[in-house]
Amino acid sequence: MTAPAEPTCPSCGAAVAAGARFCESCGTPLSAGAAAPAAGATAPAAPASPAAPPVEDAAPISAPTRRPAGALPDPPPDPGRRPCDACGGEVGPDLYCTQCGAKAPSERDHFRERPASWVAGVCDKGVGKSRNEDAMALLAGAEPGSRAVLVVLDGVSSSVDSDVASLNGARAAREVLRMPLPAGMGTPGSREAAVRKVLTDATAAAQAAIVATTDPDSPNPASATFTVAVLEGTLVHHANLGDSRCYWLPDDGPGVQLTVDDSMAQAQIAAGVAKEVAEQGRAAHAITRWLGRDSEDPTPAVGIVEVTGPGWLLACSDGLWNYASTPEALQEQVRAAGTTDPAELALRLVGFANAAGGHDNITAALARVEGPGHNAATPAATAGEEG
């Protein structure tokens, strides 16, 4: 008697658990019969790592088949399972190294993206969590300093869908931001309004992706914080909901926290409580705005700043800044790393957070900025808050 075919996703071909509502690899909703092909049917070709989500520099979900002129290029394709961190050997489908036997993290629990030599990020589940509900999605032009998009989401719900939802939300926002930001009608005010709309559209796309990936019957729907930074030459536009953050960390001079948290700690700070006291309180990480089906207001706060380099643009989750909240503390860690390689620096920052306790998921996404004379020219704008 022939054994029944193992259920697979009709979109990407990855194996799925019986009764699953969503594919853990690509987030595709699964109908009652979609996950079990008929006997003898030819399943779609599986990716290089069938059990792993396509997160390592993966092609975006529902990416257009032809990229419009001026759009940032696709990230490199998924290279498959990484070698063993302990010995460099091959990691098997069960996540154990075939040479030394060390257990490797799943691709969803620890993944890296490097769309260009000057932009990279690391997303890690941390020491104290059983799975990674953080997510990131990065884009960059090949020329250093030309244009980069850093998107970070932090899944904040115990919903079974939060890890898939946050990743889909990050990738959906990334797709909206592929094209250069609009110039408006040629005036600073017109450009600010046009850019605000694009950032709001990117946030709405993330919101829609999270809602679409969430089990409609879940009593605790998936939700996530949202932060994005778009670098075009010396201009950084940013948007934020929740308590993931963007920072500007120059090599010389004081750093700046670009975003303002939507959290109980920030409300206390606004009321006069010292930052170091508010951020260590019991409800410090309780957020007041977020993305998800139960979000009351998914409109982001947006802003713009002109940066002078050299320095680093950082987008991160609270799993990192919880151990170095101030720009000065983060600058200290950046300088201690002693590198201008964003991939190496992202790994060092994640390692720092894990060594400090790693109680939460950790994401660090970075763009290296060399400053005027090195970065591509950008439309003129006045630095300051847009909203």
pLDDT at 379: 44
pLDDT at 377: 45
pLDDT at 381: 40
CA angle, residues 17, 111, 329, in degrees to nearest 5: 135
As a whole number, mean pLDDT of residues 144-170 equals: 93
**pLDDT of 26 higher than 80:** no
**pLDDT of 175 higher than 90:** yes
pLDDT at 81: 79
**pLDDT of 128 higher than 80:** yes
**pLDDT of 38 higher than 50:** no
Domain chopping of the chain, boundaries: 1-46, 110-385
- Residue 36 binned pLDDT confidence (cut-offs 50, 70, 90): very low
CA torsion 263-268-271-275 (nearest 10°) is -110
Q: Which CATH class is domain 110-385?
A: alpha beta
pTM of the model: 0.78
- Alpha-carbon distances of 161 from 16, 59, 137, 191, 257, rounded to whole Å: 14, 21, 18, 37, 30
**pLDDT of 374 higher than 70:** no
**pLDDT of 11 higher than 80:** no
Return the beta strands (E) in the chain as ranges. 110-116, 119-124, 134-140, 147-155, 223-232, 235-241, 245-250, 256-257, 291-292, 301-306, 311-316, 362-369, 384-385
The pLDDT tens digits of the residues spanning 245-302 come to: 999 999 999 999 999 999 998 889 888 988 888 888 777 778 999 999 999 999 999 9
